[in-house]
């Protein structure tokens, strides 16, 4: 039985409100509640974009995937008590008699292997139904949850409900400010998940994608490109941007897309590791900025060429000299190197840019810089 003083409840409430403003604090809040109720595990799910997102969970990833992929349909607890489906706080015994629960698929396939048996659920409802589920689990050998635990948890229900509303409101404000900043600079911006599904895009991007014959488009809320080779490159950039924080690089890279008429487009892909701070249904996401070449005069052309084609510093320097009209011999004299060295660098430039002749290379560079 959980006995919490008014000071303890106030402290837990403060932690929940702190987490509403800072997603990184949910783990601390959930862990404090778990300890207060003397439980083995805690989990928090919040619905975003029509799907539940796991904000916190103490079980191994294997069991998390097992539940969502295979066992969720066998879980009678999520539906709530038959006599009151909109019950906000209840235990496993509110849904099933203990012997029936111990014989159930969900218990034997999910709870028992993790040495857990007791369940206490708190639900927050909105106009669309359940939008938040907080779950506590007690281990085998611990006492079952009882009516006092239900009453204590119920005292946290309005706090969690208010905190989720604050979180959603702040997320919308962050996302609106993010989009507005790019719109004011007339830069298209969108956020996608690992599968290229568009989670958000600003008004400038919407206008760009509505333009006919663009090399990049959105089809059924999924970012796509007309050339499959560009699609492979884009997949790689997005996959690296959606990697775990220790593996993602900033920026991930860029992709140049040529149009039939007009300047080329450059897609710059960045990791957005705090996607949930914007209310997006993704743990990791990719932030994509789309610019029209020739308009963004503030960029460093040499650094951009290095990033676009993975050039070395020397190769990028040679590219800029060729762009200004220097011959190989003149470039060799300026840099005080042998012409054979520059010919080797020029061959590398041809290979990395997909060009075959010096004139073709210079024409490409002129379009990009």
Q: Please give the pLDDT value at position 345.
A: 93
**Which pTM was predicted?**
0.63
CATH 3.30.450.20 fits 185-292, yes or no: yes
pLDDT at 298: 33
Ranges in the chain annotated CATH 1.10.10.10: 301-368
Which residues belong to CATH 3.30.450.80 in the chain?
6-167
Half-sphere exposure of 328 (CA within 13 A, CB side): 13
Instruction: List the Cα angle 312/314/317 in 5-degree steps.
Output: 110
CATH code linked to domain 301-368? 1.10.10.10
| Residue among 5, 37, 135 at smallest CA distance from 77 | 135
Distance CA 65, CA 75 (A): 14
Which pLDDT value is given to residue 38? Answer: 94
CATH class of 6-167: alpha beta
CATH 3.30.450.20 range(s) for the chain read 185-292
Q: Give the integer Cα–Cα distance in Å for 90 and 146.
A: 9
The confidence score (pLDDT) of residue 257 equals 85
Three-state SS sequence of the chain: CCCCCHHHHHHHHHHHHHHHHCHHHHHHHHHHHHHHCCCCEEEEEEEECCEEEEEEECCCHHHHHHHHHHHHHHCCCCCCCCCCCCCCEEEHHHHCCHHHHHHCHHHHHHHHHHCEEEEEEEEEEECCEEEEEEEEEEECCCCCCCHHHHHHHHCCHHHHHHHHHHHHHHHHHHHHHHHHHHHHCCCEEEEECCCCEEEEECHHHHHHHCCCCCCEEEECCEEEECCHHHHHHHHHHHHHHCCCCCCCCCCCEEEEECCCCCCCEEEEEEEECCHHHHCCCCCCEEEEEEEECCCCCCCCHHHHHHHHHCCCHHHHHHHHHHHCCCCHHHHHHHHCCCHHHHHHHHHHHHHHHCCCCHHHHHHHHHHHC
- Taking CA atoms, 114 is separated from 101, 107, 127, in Å, by 15, 10, 35
Sign of CA dihedral 26, 31, 36, 39: positive
Instruction: Measure the N-to-C terminal CA separation of the chain; round to a whole number of Å.
Output: 70
Taking only the tens of pLDDT, the chain with its 369 residues reads: 566 788 999 999 999 999 998 888 999 999 999 999 999 999 998 876 566 778 899 988 899 889 988 998 899 998 889 888 788 999 999 999 999 999 999 999 999 999 999 999 999 887 777 789 999 999 998 999 999 999 999 999 999 999 988 988 888 888 888 788 778 778 889 999 989 999 999 999 998 888 767 888 888 899 988 888 888 999 999 998 888 665 545 456 788 887 766 677 888 888 886 777 777 877 788 889 888 765 444 346 677 778 778 889 899 889 888 876 667 887 888 788 899 999 999 999 988 887 877 877 876 776 565
Q: What angle separates helix 301-309 from helix 313-323, to the nearest 10 degrees?
A: 120
Report how far apart, in Å, the C-alpha atoms of 137 and of each of 140, 243, 255 are.
10, 31, 47
Q: Is 193 exposed, middle or buried (0-12, 13-18, 19+ CB in 10 A)?
A: buried
Task: Determine the pLDDT at residue 363.
Answer: 65
């Amino acid at each position: 039985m959980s006995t919490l003083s008014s000071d303890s409840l106030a402290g837990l409430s403060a932690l929940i409100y702190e987490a509403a403003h800072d997603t990184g604090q949910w783990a601390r809040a959930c862990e404090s509640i778990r300890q207060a109720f003397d439980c083995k595990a805690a989990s928090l799910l919040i619905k975003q974009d029509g799907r539940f997102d796991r904000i916190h969970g103490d079980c191994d990833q294997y069991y998390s995937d097992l539940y969502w992929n295979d066992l969720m349909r066998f879980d009678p607890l999520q539906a709530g008590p038959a006599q009151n489906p909109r019950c906000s706080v209840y235990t496993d015994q509110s849904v099933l008699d203990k012997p029936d629960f111990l014989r159930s698929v969900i218990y034997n396939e999910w709870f028992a292997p993790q040495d857990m048996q007791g369940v206490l659920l708190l639900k927050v409802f909105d106009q669309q139904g359940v939008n938040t589920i907080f779950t506590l689990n007690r281990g085998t050998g611990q006492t079952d949850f009882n009516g006092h635990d239900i009453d204590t948890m119920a005292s946290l229900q309005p706090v969690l409900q208010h905190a989720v509303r604050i979180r959603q409101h702040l997320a919308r404000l962050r996302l609106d400010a993010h989009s507005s900043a790019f719109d004011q600079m007339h830069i298209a911006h969108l956020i996608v998940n690992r599968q290229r599904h568009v989670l958000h895009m600003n008004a400038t991007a919407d206008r760009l994608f509505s333009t006919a014959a663009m090399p990049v488009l959105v089809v059924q809320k999924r970012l796509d490109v007309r050339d499959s080779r560009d699609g492979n490159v884009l997949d790689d950039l997005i996959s690296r941007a959606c990697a775990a924080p220790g593996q993602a690089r900033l920026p991930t890279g860029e992709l140049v897309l040529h149009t039939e008429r007009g300047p080329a487009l450059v897609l710059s892909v960045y990791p957005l590791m705090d996607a949930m701070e914007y209310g997006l249904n993704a743990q990791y996401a990719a932030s994509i900025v789309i610019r029209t070449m020739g308009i963004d005069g503030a960029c460093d052309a040499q650094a951009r060429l290095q990033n676009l084609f993975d050039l070395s510093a020397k190769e990028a320097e040679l590219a800029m000299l060729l762009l200004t009209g220097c011959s190989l011999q003149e470039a060799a004299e300026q840099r005080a190197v042998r012409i054979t060295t520059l010919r080797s660098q020029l061959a590398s430039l041809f290979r990395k840019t997909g060009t075959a002749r010096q004139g073709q290379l210079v024409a490409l560079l002129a379009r990009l810089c």
